[in-house]
Chain A
Amino acid sequence: MSVFVQTVVAGTLMGGIYALIGIGMTLIMGVMKIINLAHGQLMMVAMYITYVLYEYLHVDPYLALVVTMPALFVLGALIQRYLLNPLIKVEAILPENQVLMTVGIGMVLTEIARMIFHSDYKSVRPAYTSISLYAGPIAFNLPMCIAFGIAVLLTIGLFIFLLKTDTGKSVRATAQNKEAALLLGVNADRIMVFTYGLGAALVAAAGTLLLPIYYLFPDLGGAFTLKAFVITILGGLGSTVGAIVGGVVLGVSESLGATYVSMGLKDAVGMVIFLLVLIFLPGGLKRLTKI
């Protein structure tokens, strides 16, 4: 029994970070109607920034959030402004041009990281990473708890932003109906640039929070891009609340899969859930809750 509880706890804590990744992706998907296949790669860039800050300037990984989030916001905004926005006007046979573009961007980011840092595994291990808190027989890994806490705070902040501020309302309006938002005076191009930046900043936060409990190599981006869209589909496309639930569900199922099925199949769990959702619950969890 305690093994089960322990598994669920670890999965939920991981799910908090997954949710952060998923929210970033879902925001971009909601506003731009594209799948950002460079999502994990943006996270990888943030992780390398965190790594450099820790290794050479001895900045605490959690403090690095102050650097990685703005840095990735700028990077994301530039990508949207100069690479994705121009594609709206380009005439092409395939409507998925923007998606293919994000694939290209992902490849470029991965390869630049590989050129600078090579393919070997890196990790950031401040002294407190090995500390665990105990509640009875259940261990709570300290860095995972901190990461979960910060992820929750960021999510709450994002919701306040989306619900209360004018910019946030414009983002939601553009996501709901771009033409109508344009008619009401929302500068949709600028909102798209802003949203991609915001999505990149959120996934940057996830990467920075993940680094003390994970390891880092250039190809990690691809794996997390896959996770990000599993979360997004699971949650229902474009739904932020769905992305949170999806993140936690993925975290817990991966964790259960690793404990009870096999460590090697851990990554397949997400994919199988993804397919089951597509077949039996198209529309994702959003459909059940009607949020």
Chain B
Amino acid sequence: MKAIRWQIALIVAASLIFPWVVRSEYYLHVIILAYIWVIIGSSWNLLAGFTGQVSFGHAIFFGIGAYTAGLCATKLGVSAWWGVIFGGPMASLIGFIIGWICFRLRGPYFALATIAVGEIFRLIAVVWRSFTGGMEGILLMQTFRSKLPYYYLALFLSLTCILAIHLAMRSKWGYYFVAIREDQDAAESMGVSAFRYKSLSLIISSFFTGVAGAFYMNYMAFIDPEVVFSLHHISIMAILVGIIGGVGTLWGPPLGAFIMVLLQETFRSSFFGLAPRWVSEVHVLVFGLLVIFVILYMANGVVGDWDKIRRLWSRKAESVAATAGKGS
């Protein structure tokens, strides 16, 4: 445990110094995006990985948070930063209502219902033009010219999110969540109210996703329904972050977020200009192949199957050493 604490301190320290070592706006931007995905992925994982309720609709909460921030600026005339404060509770409220409707469904059917709700929210944002601005979206002025304040805020929010999930999982709630994931009927027969704890998990999960959405609005200064309510770019990406990093582990989604964002940027910039231009168009294809590969060979993600990867690695090293030994 001490060793792990020491490692965490090292990671946090490295994150704090990072902008002073790497003085590049572009790399800061990439890391800020990764932090946003750390929040979304970890939140998704709390609901899906720990509580067993696979959501395909986390774009709803992200979008609610982003629109809360955007509408604070365009409709209320206050700073969009209020959205970071109100976005979370707003997303939680919507999350609670959605849970009330959808938690009567189990397993894949819950997943389907969340897709449907997500699509409804996207369509509402598109059609209700007088309120949301429709397809044109919402455009703001960025508050800061430098990326530094955004970087530290994103770091702070993602660490808070990880800490909150860690604390929730260490309390009795966490045991109830896992009990529901393992066997809902057994948990209920032991007196755990599945509905109450599933709702609780969803409320925490949607809260942080909403905060991430509100921060995204402030940072990118532009949203439209196709971006923030997108099934493919947000909801499914949240799932990918979770499963690639490791479902049901605390550090899986944060790691997954960095893997996904770095991979996405590598391909989007065609390996930083080294590869031919068409490479930039295949990043979604690479994600798809990655999903297939991970599910087939590393069903519990990089963190969950870490021992397996390490064993593979050491075996390879051994065989390399063995052949090298033979050669000499």
A90 lies within 8 A of B296 (CB): yes
Q: How far is the CB of B281 from chain A (nearest CB, A)?
A: 7
Per a CB cutoff under 8 Å, which of A101, A115, A229 touches B112? A229
Residue of A nearest to B288 (CB): A107
A91 lies within 8 A of B299 (CB): yes
Q: Is B120 positioned at the interface, with any CB of A under 8 Å from its CB? A: yes
Q: How far is the CB of A136 from chain B (nearest CB, A)?
A: 35
Q: Is B17 positioned at the interface, with any CB of A under 8 Å from its CB? A: no
B296 lies within 8 A of A268 (CB): no
Total residue contacts A-B, CB cutoff 8 A:
131
Q: Which of B35-43, B88-96, B100-108 contacts A (4 or more CB under 8 A)?
A: B100-108
A94 lies within 8 A of B52 (CB): yes
In the complex, 7 of the A-B residue pairs with CB atoms within 8 angstroms, ordered by the A residue number, are A92-B299, A96-B107, A226-B116, A271-B119, A272-B120, A278-B101, A278-B105
C-alpha spacing A115/B299, complex, angstroms: 28
Per a CB cutoff under 8 Å, which of B104, B282, B287, B291 touches A100? B291
Q: How far is the CB of A128 from chain B (nearest CB, A)?
A: 34
A34 lies within 8 A of B108 (CB): yes
Q: Apart from A267-B123, A282-B104, what are 4 other A-B pairs with CB-CB below 8 Å?
A: A92-B299, A230-B116, A271-B116, A271-B117
* 0/1 string, B292-313, CB within 8 A of A gives 1: 1001100110001000000000
C-alpha spacing A265/B49, complex, angstroms: 34
Per a CB cutoff under 8 Å, which of B109, B112, B120, B291 touches A107? B291
C-alpha spacing A34/B107, complex, angstroms: 10
A108 lies within 8 A of B289 (CB): yes
Q: Is A13 positioned at the interface, with any CB of B under 8 Å from its CB? A: no
The residues of A that contact B154 with a CB separation of less than 8 Å are: none
The residues of B that contact A264 with a CB separation of less than 8 Å are: 123, 126-127
Q: How far is the CB of A71 from chain B (nearest CB, A)?
A: 21
B101 lies within 8 A of A279 (CB): yes
Per a CB cutoff under 8 Å, which of A92, A106, A114 touches B281? A114
Residue of B nearest to A262 (CB): B127
C-alpha spacing A83/B91, complex, angstroms: 36
If A107-B284, A115-B281 touch, whether A282 touches B105 (CB-CB below 8 Å) is yes
Q: Is B247 positioned at the interface, with any CB of A under 8 Å from its CB? A: yes
A96 lies within 8 A of B108 (CB): yes
Q: Decide if the interface of chain A is mainly helix, strand, loop or mixed.
A: helix
A101 lies within 8 A of B295 (CB): yes
A161-190 residues with Cβ-Cβ distance < 8 A to B are none
The residues of A that contact B282 with a CB separation of less than 8 Å are: 111, 115
Q: Is B159 positioned at the interface, with any CB of A under 8 Å from its CB? A: no
Size range of the chain B interface in the assembly: 35 or more
C-alpha spacing A110/B284, complex, angstroms: 9
C-alpha spacing A107/B104, complex, angstroms: 29
Per a CB cutoff under 8 Å, which of B102, B231, B292 touches A105? B292
The residues of B that contact A274 with a CB separation of less than 8 Å are: 113, 116
Q: Is A59 positioned at the interface, with any CB of B under 8 Å from its CB? A: no
If A87-B295, A93-B247, A275-B117 touch, whether A111 touches B288 (CB-CB below 8 Å) is yes
Residue of B nearest to A278 (CB): B113
Q: Is A220 positioned at the interface, with any CB of B under 8 Å from its CB? A: no
Q: Is B46 positioned at the interface, with any CB of A under 8 Å from its CB? A: no
The residues of A that contact B104 with a CB separation of less than 8 Å are: 278, 282
B292 lies within 8 A of A83 (CB): yes
B54 lies within 8 A of A94 (CB): yes
If A96-B108, A226-B116, A278-B113 touch, whether A105 touches B288 (CB-CB below 8 Å) is yes
Residue of B nearest to A34 (CB): B108
Q: Is A86 positioned at the interface, with any CB of B under 8 Å from its CB? A: yes
Residue of A nearest to B135 (CB): A264
Q: Which of A86, A105, A108 has the most CB of B within 10 A?
A: A108
The residues of B that contact A72 with a CB separation of less than 8 Å are: none
C-alpha spacing A51/B312, complex, angstroms: 45
A271 lies within 8 A of B120 (CB): yes
